[in-house]
Amino acid sequence: MIKFTKRNLMLYFRDKTSVVFSLMAALITFLLYIAVFRNLYGTGMLFGIGDIRSLTDIWAISGVLAAPTVTVPLGSLWVLVDDRRQKHYKDFYSAPVARWKITGGYLLSAFVVGIIMTCALLVVTQIYLLINGGSLFTLKQYILILGVIVIATFSGAGLTLFLAGLFKNNNAYTACSLVLGTLMGFLSGNYLPNGFLPEPVHMVVKMCPVAHATALLRQIVIKEPMEEMLQVFPDQMSYFSTFMGVEFQYGSYIAEPWVHVAVLVGSGVVFYALAILVLSRKRRK
């Protein structure tokens, strides 16, 4: 499985266009925030509490880091679609290797690529913070962020492996990638904070794993500066937290971090199992 994973990684990084476009959706989201939403959310127009752009910058970075945990694995799995199109899988399945290991090789390569590229994006966002007079995250925050990236990428890789198993040609898969990449901007709460969404849509968003990854990241990096900046506006604290998607509220219950972790790990396991079923069904055909 390790050798097969290396083979998939080499194919992915050999195609520079695929590497660039894997991160494009997240980068476009971040650029839109800088060009449009930064002044809207950060100058106090929504909350009447003054300039909080240093706070909303960190808020936006959390969503930007969550999106590639899905879009990057999705971009890397064109290898699977291309293998099926060219019927390379017949050679793989004729080898004395358990078939779940072949599926696991695709998953592991998507998982590794997702972590590498998301960490690269983390470096870019830290440079942005420094340029705008902000400060780097603490060592503890980096460790926690890396942990969230790992479990979120596991979930995203499982989802995208399942989706990749549904397609037989690269054109259809590319179209799916474009649609999902666009959706990530909304599901991660970057285009519109949760408070702007109608309640039915808001509930759908809160069922999506990537939204839980975003909430976890925001709780790691924004809670302390949020409490410091809004301490003179205690009545705004709870409203800001739920409106901006820092915390998820279900009725009177505020989801704790372990809930978000459980959703991410559970969804990864479920989608990986579904991917095995889909790919097995495709083989029988």
Q: How far apart are CA 94 and CA 170, in angstroms?
A: 24
Report the number of distinct structural domains present in the chain: 1
Of the candidates 30, 73, 55, the residue with the CA atom closest to the CA atom of residue 185: 30
Can you give the pTM of this predicted structure?
Answer: 0.88
- The secondary structure of the chain in percent helix, strand, coil, rounded to multiples of 5, reads 80, 0, 20
**156 C-beta neighbours (distance < 10 Å), count:** 32
Q: How far apart are CA 239 and CA 201, in angstroms?
A: 19
For residue 232, the model assigns a pLDDT of 55
Confidence band for 233, pLDDT divided at 50, 70 and 90: low
- Does residue 13 have a pLDDT over 90? no
State the residue range of the domain holding 52.
Answer: 2-284
For residue 204, the model assigns a pLDDT of 87
Q: How far apart are CA 188 and CA 64, in angstroms?
A: 8
- Does residue 49 have a pLDDT over 60? no
Q: How far apart are CA 174 and CA 101, in angstroms?
A: 26
CB 213 within 8 Å of CB 66: yes
